Each structure stands twice: as structure tokens, then as C-alpha cells.
Amino acid sequence: MLEINAVHSFYGKAHILNDLSFSVGKGEVVALLGRNGAGKTTTMKSIMQLVRPRSGTVLFNGKDITGVSPHKVAQLGLGYVPEERRIFTDLTILENLEVGRQKPREGAPVWTVDALFDLFPNLSERRANRGKALSGGEQQMLTIARTLMGNPSLLLLDEPSEGIAPVIVEEMAQTILKFKSQGLTVIISEQNLHFAKIVADRAVIIEGGQKKFDDSFDALEQQPEVRDAYLSV
């Protein structure tokens, strides 16, 4: 579904992604792992074309989306949830969801407000509350739910477990597993190996903008030296 081929991305003169390649199959949940500053966010932004790769290509369902505007990339069915929460604080939860509504898309799960409230019961209970009344974890969930209202076929979640209470982290993991069971393809960027292991089928580890590992979590367990070298655990 997604193929990243030999991507090099820069911020000005700073060379951040260096010959990065990996692919994601339909229905897979892939965790992008790596320390702070490894290049996980830049990888997501390079997929969304918020950072345009200086060379290399990004293919989505076989179509080259390199250099396409981020707005068009989203229209093609890529949903991106950045690390910083993006909700409308003065709108209610329900209104926030309505703002995200897009037409159903072929080959992607179709979400309704009711289905999302089933998935996020905390949001359902507070549907008439304004965004600003929510906790950090709830804002994170609302951002994800609003992105799903766009009916993406591929969801990119940047550090969904970051800065939220442990009990909510567990809930978040179960929720991501439910997306998967609906046929959604997901890439998550994570520093939390425990969380990644629960939700993802495969780990792609990056360091210094280069891929260092791409295999199952079982394979990662067999190589503790890889974990010790590239992850903070």
C-alpha cells in the first residue's frame, strides 16, 4: 500500500532522512521506532509531503505522491495525526468530529459519529463539552477520531502514547487494535516499546534518519543488541 524508496529529506541544509526505504502492506500496523530526534516525525511528514523529499519517492497504492500537495495527499486517503493535538477548543466534541467529515472512500473503512463514539466512550459521554474542557489524553483521542471522520485508508499516528496517563495508554492500544480489525492500515511512531509491541505487527527502527531494523517484534527480541543500540528502554 505504501512504499518509501530511498528518501532523502532536509530541513534547510540539515540532512535528516538518509536513504530511507520501507514499505507497509494493506491491513498492517507498523511501528516506527527510534530515539528522540531519530527522524520519526520527519518520516511521517515526508510521507504526507509536509516535508518534500529532496530525492527518492513515496508511492501510495502504486501512485507516486512525491511532491503532491499535502492537501491532495490527505484526499487520497492518508490521515495524519501529529504529535501536537489539533482540536478546535471552542467547538464541542461533536462539532469537532463534524468538521472532519469527508465522503466515504473505496477500500477504506467508513466511520460515522456513532461508530466513533462506540470506539471512544469517553468522548461520547462528553459530546456536548467544548474541546478545551478535555484532558490531554481525551484531546489526543478526539484528534484521532476527527481524522477517522475523513475515512482514511492509511492512518499515521505520531507518538499516540506520548504525554497521556498510563490507563489511557492501555485504552489507546486497544482502540488501535480495533482500527486494525476494521481493515485500516496504520503507521505509528513510538518511543514506548511496550505500547508498540501490543499494537504493531512489525517494527521499523530508525536512527540518524537511516533504517537500522525492519522485522517482527519476535525477531527484535532475539537481537537485544539492536534494541540497546537504538531504543531507550
Binding site for ligand ATP (CB under 6 A): 11, 14, 16, 34, 36-42
Alpha carbons 62 and 64: distance in angstroms, whole number: 7
DSSP string over the chain: -EEEEEEEEEETTEEEEEEEEEEE-TT-EEEEE--TTSSHHHHHHHHHTSS--SEEEEEETTEE-TT--HHHHHHTTEEEE-SS----TTSBHHHHHHHT-----TTS----HHHHHHH-HHHHHTTTSBGGGS-HHHHHHHHHHHHHTT--SEEEEE-TTTTS-HHHHHHHHHHHHHHHHTT-EEEEEES-HHHHHHH-SEEEEEETTEEEEEE-HHHHHT-HHHHHHH---
> What is the closest distance, in whole angstroms, from the C-beta atom of residue 231 to ligand ATP in the complex?
11
> What is the closest distance, in whole angstroms, from the C-beta atom of residue 63 to ligand ATP in the complex?
25
- Is the CB of 46 or the CB of 151 nearer to ligand ATP? 46
> What is the closest distance, in whole angstroms, from the C-beta atom of residue 167 to ligand ATP in the complex?
23
> What is the closest distance, in whole angstroms, from the C-beta atom of residue 10 to ligand ATP in the complex?
9
Alpha carbons 226 and 2: distance in angstroms, whole number: 25
- Is the CB of 11 or the CB of 132 nearer to ligand ATP? 11
> What is the closest distance, in whole angstroms, from the C-beta atom of residue 31 to ligand ATP in the complex?
12
- Is the CB of 24 or the CB of 38 nearer to ligand ATP? 38
Looking at residue 127, its amino acid is R
- Is the CB of 14 or the CB of 167 nearer to ligand ATP? 14
- Is the CB of 131 or the CB of 160 nearer to ligand ATP? 160
- Is the CB of 11 or the CB of 163 nearer to ligand ATP? 11
